[in-house]
Amino acid sequence: MNVTEQKAYRWLEQHTGYSDLVFQQRRSPDFLAPDGTGYEVKKVRNGTILFTDAQWMSLQKHSRVKVVVFNDGSEPLDIVDFAELPTPPSYWKNYRLILVNLSYKSGRVIVPDDQEVLTPSETATYLRINQEVLRRLSEQGRIQGAYKVGSQWRYVKAELLKRSKLDLSS
């Protein structure tokens, strides 16, 4: 379980009354309650909630799924029935929803609206900064268009300089 899933597990145990939630590693939804309700845990980064296409399709197959949205805090920011979310790419409340297709053969992440997604190496070269500096800035939320897929950072090229909270001109 990652840190966000651990927070969600503790929160769900306290607020649903279920002490026997089943964690489904590498499957969606992340947790199943005894009554059949699924809970998909998402961490919002830079105002964005990211779903892989496989997660989205799996969640569509379940009749009762709630998406539990966290940031770095211990309490969820939002909880929504999955059926109420619009299909990405779209917006829900103040969040941007993105759907990515993981292509394991090419090792690239493809965003459906034809935006180019870069690796950390490509992004560091594009921004003309060191990869370690890029990683730290990404973790601080200072790089617009930065998204984590699993444990790896990815960057939407069109957004890198559009609204970055970073002055790279100096």
My answer on whether 82 and 127 are in the same domain is no
Instruction: Read off the pTM.
Output: 0.63
| Domain identity same for 92 and 139 | no
Q: Are residues 103 and 42 in the same domain?
A: yes
Listed in sequence order, the residues at least 6 apart from 78 whose beta carbon sits closer than 8 Å to its beta carbon are 67, 68, 69, 93, 95
Tell me, yes or no, whether 9 and 69 share the same domain: yes
Q: Which residues are paired to 51 by β-bridges?
A: 99
Write out the two tokens for 155.
Answer: 């960057």
Number of domain units in the chain: 2
Give me the domain span that covers residue 132.
Answer: 115-164
Which tokens hold the place of 41? 């845990």
pLDDT tens string, the chain, 170 residues long: the values are 888 999 999 999 999 888 889 999 888 999 999 999 999 999 998 788 988 888 898 999 998 999 999 998 889 999 999 999 998 888 899 888 888 765 444 444 445 445 678 889 999 998 889 999 999 888 887 787 787 777 888 888 877 766 545 555 44
